[in-house]
Structure 1
């Protein structure tokens, strides 16, 4: 029974697609919520070829094993109207090329700078919906003001003095006036501090009293202080410092005094350090960044500067460095009322749209054309990730031609001083947020980037053989076979422990799939530290988007599944930090993933981590080590190959 037939049989035995309320898949199983239990035949599903186990709890779990579960879920999605997702994470299923490509690039963002920008993204991304909404409110207020201009003669100028208009403007400005507080709160949360103390750090940077004081005398030094010095960069650094001081003090204060002394010392020490050190340095850094981007790249650089900024923006996106520009945009808005940088960078998405049109016209492969057709509408609206990670970046050359084409739109806008009154959207969605009624100029720039990306990609960026790069199958490493001159022999392979911790048999796990060895034989580890290492040298064949499960195929063909905790696929917070990507070659002992053990436990999840050989049937003996505790890198399992019959000649 192939995967298509298995998918059809499963849906039929569940009462048909109309009886399935939701269907998600994780790394080993499909989970189904049914509308009705009538006409459901679980016994028939258990007998299907390829089904390892069926578990009937609140949801029905059909265990298929790594790899196969994705293909069957894909088949269900393609042949029914059922939407298949990855267990409650809000992402698409893992067979999606865009998700795989995005995960691969994110997994490689492991340098200190890239991690820093990722932290900045985690601080600002939750605020963006509020920034967009507030910006649109101000945009509506500006539109009313323009229509009420006596030269326009469309609205009565008296409307500008009305309470409703004043309220509209006030609501639009609320978030911008308190932005430092929200940034401080999110920074504290990101770095493990108390959120209210992070909020105070944001208030401190923008405290009006600093302008009233203007200078402070400290040890004979006359320090100049001012409200807002250092901007949001200062807020981030101050809130981070507050969090570090708080954690340092808490470890050294008695529990009975923690509630009083820890926040007091944090506030006193953090405030002094912020005013004396952080604000002046952050102020210089923000002035330097603003000077380089605005004065050097845009004003002095002119057309060339605009071209370079637009053409290089998406490469920054793929390595996560674009998040670092959010505080720069907001600083420009605070100083000048709008950011001329954002519309230029938004041209990068326009180049991708143009490139996608070119590929669609030239491509013969139906799968690629369907991917583009489904991704183009949202790409035009400014959501470029499906096109970037699903089309141009995996193909390679079209990504480059799209970036180069986008530069022409950036060059045009650099001559027009087109600004945006808030951050967040791009594409057509950014039009209502363009400042000073320069909507048409922005739209023309967007059209130029479309055309630039289209022409360069159509002429130089796409060849039909590139499709194999998207959809070609990667050969799976195979176990070593004998040759006509070899005699039958037995080989033993040692599997190192990927974790440090206590060792327990799979049978003790509170998960029927692993406990019954339905997926394969192995052992469980209760980790003592949050580092997962490669147990063998080989190829990463499976990386679950959440990071909680990773599969490796050794150079000799042993397929190893490492599953951190039980049911941890349900965790929505970023408690797993991948250090590798799918299809990457790894060496034994290489760090694969880091994870937060304490947070996983606090959320009530079982930290027991199964280490399983998923192709156990290919081997004669799989023997776990006989000890209670193990350190990562020590021998965990021994695998004896089946005795191989000599291969006969033709």
Structure 2
């Protein structure tokens, strides 16, 4: 499924654009804040090709996409007015959200747009430090100076970046917020601070502070700005509002920030850093165990955002952070568990998925790996948490530190160069290798490839493997059309999409030739030709309904080739129809193939392919229980 189709279907299944209060994205997730969560079809979202899973956390509906999330987000912004709605004030909190939900939503909304820049700049800083250590670059060299400026500017001018993103979240003018942040790091102000100069505003002494790389002062300033602007807009006439509101906001907020909010924010920053250091120093080993064991659990529930400001604050306040190296153990442990599954599994599909997601996990993107492999099979996730705890304990006890912000991953290693680097490397290595060993020795449970074939799930062909015929009483249904495959839930016809008429699947036809998916008897041919019912020789009752509401065409563009009572063989022509003319008439051509007596069967298994051709495997109708899942465990 391409990004355009995926974006449209996601918006449809979250309840439509009108149901979306706001939308942001992080490294792997679309994070929706919805007006009415009951209007979102979570089951349909989870079944979409291109969606890994769906999580409800922190007052958000989080659609996990993976590495492609940025492109899908951009397509949604292109196809909708959500961005404009957010700027106009649509991003308001629901009154029934909990304090924690509001806090996580606020933090993620402010920091998630900046994570890419943080990660890239942090990695570059780490590499430059490594190159200087290896004498590949001289710190006095022009090349180093330019690259260091590129890496350091993101953090040096952090208040400006946070001013813009926080203004979007607080519904303030983002460009006025940037001007406020710019005043905090203005050269003459910094010179006065560096020279210990005493200054005053209207006779009131100003406590000068170095606000470069600071976090909390600008957040307080923009929060106040949002209320000041709201008040000014209510009392200033609209004819001059666009001029005087920004001017007066600057005149009011900038001095107040230097006099009050800046010093208060700086005090809070120091307190947060001191508080974290105090807790960490109680027992670095226990801190490492907790961080290594539970970080991925925090990620699953989306509450890991609460730690991002702490990490940044530590870096800007004390110059390093002890949390990030411990989290690297958790991330690499998941990657190790994924590699263990790759080595242990005998299922080709599992091996392929484990291999690709493990590579992404090594580089810090763990959600596809967690949802697709380790959490799916349960035991590998537990082994990874145990291994992460061991690695985190080693790193914590050894005093590992991160000296630049980067996603915990293999790429972040250069940012750990310095105090505790050796134990950090030992801890990461132990976490990775231990997870592999635990998976290989203790095993995990999954379907064998043989059982997958027997169930007809994901093989894409109808022929059973030799020797498996007796495992299950089943009937295979082949595709009656050429086209793209969609879940039944995505059909814009509630009666069919709800499953009330039976289980099934949908094909968006690329051509208008409909053939029989089974051998059997034609039981129904609608006079308009838009729908045909067939009962197979084994008793499976199928309804093939071409398009949605196409009965209104009264037979136009349909050419029936069979009549009720006709015997047909699998692959015989049932109907010709003009796909393009039907679409031109304004009708949806997505065609459901429904097992109308599916309640009489144990299950209806569907292909995992995204496209089908005539006579390709489509469905398996299961009468009796499948053989028990194979267990990969060494006794």
Structure 1 residue ranges without an equivalent (≥5): 1-6, 8-21, 31-64, 67-85, 87-92, 149-153, 475-539, 560-613, 619-643
Aligned partner of 2:282 among 270, 275, 300 = 300
Aligned partner of 1:128 among 111, 115, 128 = 115
Task: Output one character per residue of 1:169-217: Cα deviation in whole Å (capped at 9) or x when no partner.
Answer: 3343222221111111121123332222211332355553578577979
Question: Do residues 257 (structure 1) and 240 (structure 2) align?
Answer: yes
Find the aligned partners of 1:389 and 1:552 in 2 and give their Cα distance. Answer: 31
Find the aligned partners of 1:112 and 1:175 in 2 and give their Cα distance. Answer: 30
Match of 1:170 in 2: 149
Find the aligned partners of 1:281 and 1:291 in 2 and give their Cα distance. Answer: 15
Give the root-mean-square deviation of aligned CA atoms: 4.8
Aligned partner of 1:240 among 187, 203, 223 = 223
Q: Quickly say closer, same or farther: Cα 1:218–1:409, change in 2 above 3 A.
A: farther
Q: Quickly say closer, same or farther: Cα 1:441–1:555, change in 2 above 3 A.
A: same
Aligned partner of 1:368 among 337, 344, 350 = 350
Match of 1:231 in 2: 214
TM-superposed deviation, 1:406: 0.6
Q: Quickly say closer, same or farther: Cα 1:235–1:24, change in 2 above 3 A.
A: closer
Contact 1:397 1:462 in 2 (8 A): yes
Find the aligned partners of 1:398 and 1:274 in 2 and give their Cα distance. Answer: 50
Match of 1:113 in 2: 100
Aligned partner of 2:306 among 305, 324, 327 = 324
Contact 2:406 2:415 in 1 (8 A): no
TM-superposed deviation, 1:396: 4.1
Find the aligned partners of 1:355 and 1:289 in 2 and give their Cα distance. Answer: 34
Find the aligned partners of 2:498 and 2:127 in 1 and give their Cα distance. Answer: 62
Find the aligned partners of 1:410 and 1:119 in 2 and give their Cα distance. Answer: 29
Match of 1:201 in 2: 180
Question: Do residues 183 (structure 1) and 170 (structure 2) align?
Answer: no
Q: Quickly say closer, same or farther: Cα 1:319–1:204, change in 2 above 3 A.
A: farther
Match of 2:398 in 1: 416
Match of 1:315 in 2: 297
Structure 2 residue ranges without an equivalent (≥5): 14-29, 31-44, 63-96, 458-486, 503-546, 552-595, 601-635
Contact 2:377 2:445 in 1 (8 A): no
Match of 1:142 in 2: 129
Aligned partner of 1:344 among 322, 326, 333 = 326
Q: Quickly say closer, same or farther: Cα 1:389–1:228, change in 2 above 3 A.
A: same
Name the SS for the 2:431 alignment partner: helix
Find the aligned partners of 2:102 and 2:290 in 1 and give their Cα distance. Answer: 25
Find the aligned partners of 2:245 and 2:154 in 1 and give their Cα distance. Answer: 30
TM-superposed deviation, 1:262: 0.8
Find the aligned partners of 1:451 and 1:366 in 2 and give their Cα distance. Answer: 23
Q: Quickly say closer, same or farther: Cα 1:615–1:165, change in 2 above 3 A.
A: closer
Contact 1:402 1:453 in 2 (8 A): yes
TM-superposed deviation, 1:429: 0.9
Task: Output one character per residue of 1:212-271: Cα deviation in whole Å (capped at 9) or x when no partner.
Answer: 57797999x988563339930222232233134323422432111212321133223333
Find the aligned partners of 1:99 and 1:23 in 2 and give their Cα distance. Answer: 11
Contact 1:230 1:286 in 2 (8 A): no
TM-score with structure 1 setting the length: 0.52
Contact 1:205 1:234 in 2 (8 A): no
Q: Quickly say closer, same or farther: Cα 1:380–1:261, change in 2 above 3 A.
A: same
TM-superposed deviation, 1:444: 2.4
Contact 1:122 1:190 in 2 (8 A): yes
Question: Do residues 287 (structure 1) and 288 (structure 2) align?
Answer: no
Find the aligned partners of 1:114 and 1:461 in 2 and give their Cα distance. Answer: 37
**Residues 149-164 of structure 1: matches in 2 within 5 Å?**
159-164=138-143
Count matched residues: 409
